[in-house]
Amino acid sequence: MAEIQFADGKQVVDDAYAPAISELTSGHPERFPFRDVMDRIGSWFEKDFLRREQRRIVGDHLSRFGL
């Protein structure tokens, strides 16, 4: 568990959310209300999954050609 300072006070969040919160807030969660960040976190995880899959697919494709 991680305690993070948001604009509306400190909140305890699961460690799995800490990197996402940091990226969503550009490293400054104290500038955003907790509810706003948590409302956006679902779409961050979806986009992160798609980014990782795209990298994997492109990497697999390029490796076939020795690139």
CA atoms within 13 A on the CB side of 31: 7
What per-residue confidence (pLDDT) applies to 8? 96
What per-residue confidence (pLDDT) applies to 5? 97
pTM here?
0.69
The pLDDT tens digits of the residues spanning 7-65 come to 999 999 989 889 999 999 999 999 999 999 999 998 888 888 888 899 999 998 888 88
Q: Which residue has the tokens 């492109």?
A: 58
4, 21, 41, 54 from 30: Cα distances, Å? 8, 11, 16, 32
